[in-house]
Amino acid sequence: MIDSVGNTNDDKRLHERLRKSYRVIYRRMADLSSPSSPREGVVIDVSGGGFCFLAGEPFEENSRLALLIEFPGWVADARGDWVATKDDNDVAELEVLVEVIRNEASRAVPGRFEIGVRLCGRIG
């Protein structure tokens, strides 16, 4: 049962979830070669194995998505290591491949869908 965005009362997860809010730009892997526009969503929680984000459409379980996640207050140094700046004008970007493990209509945000994904790998 969902009591608020991303929280369930009967959760049996391997990793603790942290509530976060990051902008995410997503595309279906099947759409990468087509002229379709990327879509925008919001990450609502993060765990060691994946995360959940709000999207304007549902996705089939096991489908693959390419995501670009923006992290305000971080930058990559010359070696590619991330450094916290605490300045929201600095934005580090992480591109990842994910697999949809669940999706359901959001009770907290009508008209949106909570998409649970597992991290498969980094792009780039």
How many whole angstroms separate alpha carbon 2 and alpha carbon 6? Answer: 7
Residue 124 has a pLDDT of: 73
Residue 30 has a pLDDT of: 74
Residue 19 has a pLDDT of: 73
Alpha helix segments (H runs only) across the chain:
none
Burial 86-111 (b: 16+ CB within 10 A, else e): eeeeeebebebebbbeebeebeeeee
DSSP-based three-state secondary structure for 40: strand
pTM check: above 0.85: no
Residue 80 has a pLDDT of: 87
Residue 8 has a pLDDT of: 47
Q: What kind of fold does domain 16-122 have according to CATH?
A: Thrombin, subunit H (2.40.10)
Place of tokens 């916290």: 84
Backbone angles phi, psi at 34, to 5 degrees: -100, 165
Residue 12 has a pLDDT of: 54
The ranges of the chain with pLDDT < 70 are 1-18, 31-36
Residue 32 has a pLDDT of: 66
